Amino acid sequence: MTVKLSISVPDDVAEYLQSRGNASAAVVEAVRRVQPQARRARQREAAQAYGAFLRERSPRQRDDDRAMIEESNDIALRDAQW
Protein backbone atom coordinates (compact mmCIF):
# COMPACT_ATOMS: atom_id res chain seq x y z
CA MET A 1 0.00 0.00 0.00
CA THR A 2 1.21 3.51 -0.70
CA VAL A 3 0.03 6.89 0.49
CA LYS A 4 0.42 10.10 -1.46
CA LEU A 5 1.81 12.93 0.68
CA SER A 6 2.47 16.55 -0.02
CA ILE A 7 5.41 18.04 1.86
CA SER A 8 7.41 21.26 1.88
CA VAL A 9 11.18 21.01 1.80
CA PRO A 10 14.05 23.53 1.70
CA ASP A 11 15.27 24.67 -1.72
CA ASP A 12 18.44 22.56 -1.66
CA VAL A 13 16.48 19.40 -0.84
CA ALA A 14 13.92 20.18 -3.54
CA GLU A 15 16.70 20.67 -6.07
CA TYR A 16 18.23 17.33 -5.12
CA LEU A 17 14.90 15.49 -5.31
CA GLN A 18 14.10 17.05 -8.67
CA SER A 19 17.47 15.88 -10.00
CA ARG A 20 16.62 12.30 -9.09
CA GLY A 21 14.70 10.16 -11.53
CA ASN A 22 12.29 9.03 -8.83
CA ALA A 23 11.91 11.49 -5.95
CA SER A 24 9.62 9.13 -4.03
CA ALA A 25 12.24 6.37 -4.06
CA ALA A 26 14.90 8.82 -2.84
CA VAL A 27 12.71 9.93 0.05
CA VAL A 28 11.80 6.36 1.00
CA GLU A 29 15.46 5.32 0.95
CA ALA A 30 16.49 8.25 3.15
CA VAL A 31 13.71 7.74 5.68
CA ARG A 32 14.31 4.01 5.94
CA ARG A 33 17.99 4.70 6.65
CA VAL A 34 17.09 6.67 9.76
CA GLN A 35 14.22 4.55 11.05
CA PRO A 36 15.28 2.95 14.36
CA GLN A 37 14.22 -0.57 13.35
CA ALA A 38 16.17 -0.43 10.08
CA ARG A 39 19.18 1.09 11.82
CA ARG A 40 19.16 -1.69 14.45
CA ALA A 41 18.92 -4.32 11.72
CA ARG A 42 21.98 -2.85 9.95
CA GLN A 43 23.88 -2.67 13.24
CA ARG A 44 22.96 -6.27 14.07
CA GLU A 45 24.05 -7.41 10.61
CA ALA A 46 27.36 -5.55 10.94
CA ALA A 47 27.96 -7.01 14.42
CA GLN A 48 27.30 -10.53 13.13
CA ALA A 49 29.70 -10.01 10.23
CA TYR A 50 32.37 -8.68 12.59
CA GLY A 51 31.86 -11.64 14.94
CA ALA A 52 32.26 -14.04 12.02
CA PHE A 53 35.44 -12.21 11.00
CA LEU A 54 36.87 -12.48 14.52
CA ARG A 55 36.03 -16.19 14.78
CA GLU A 56 38.05 -16.88 11.63
CA ARG A 57 41.22 -15.22 12.98
CA SER A 58 44.13 -17.52 13.72
CA PRO A 59 45.66 -17.71 17.22
CA ARG A 60 48.67 -15.78 15.91
CA GLN A 61 46.44 -13.00 14.54
CA ARG A 62 44.57 -12.80 17.87
CA ASP A 63 47.87 -12.53 19.74
CA ASP A 64 49.05 -9.81 17.36
CA ASP A 65 45.76 -7.93 17.87
CA ARG A 66 46.09 -8.21 21.64
CA ALA A 67 49.67 -6.89 21.51
CA MET A 68 48.65 -3.97 19.31
CA ILE A 69 45.81 -3.06 21.68
CA GLU A 70 48.16 -3.17 24.68
CA GLU A 71 50.72 -0.98 22.90
CA SER A 72 48.00 1.44 21.84
CA ASN A 73 46.74 1.65 25.43
CA ASP A 74 50.26 2.30 26.68
CA ILE A 75 50.67 5.13 24.15
CA ALA A 76 47.29 6.60 25.06
CA LEU A 77 48.03 6.49 28.78
CA ARG A 78 51.62 7.70 28.56
CA ASP A 79 52.25 10.60 30.90
CA ALA A 80 48.77 10.21 32.33
CA GLN A 81 48.62 11.19 35.99
CA TRP A 82 46.52 8.76 37.98
Contact in structure between 57 and 65 (CB atoms under 8 Å): yes
Contact in structure between 32 and 39 (CB atoms under 8 Å): no
pLDDT of the chain along its 82 residues, tens only? 889 989 899 999 999 999 998 999 999 988 888 888 888 898 999 999 999 999 999 999 999 999 999 998 888 887 665 5
pLDDT for 59 equals 94
**CA–CA separation, 28 and 22 (whole Å):** 10
Nearest to 6 by CA among 24, 19, 29, 22: 24
What are the angstrom distances between the C-alpha of 71 and each of 54, 65, 67, 74, 79? 20, 10, 6, 5, 14
What are the angstrom distances between the C-alpha of 17 and each of 20, 33, 77? 5, 16, 48
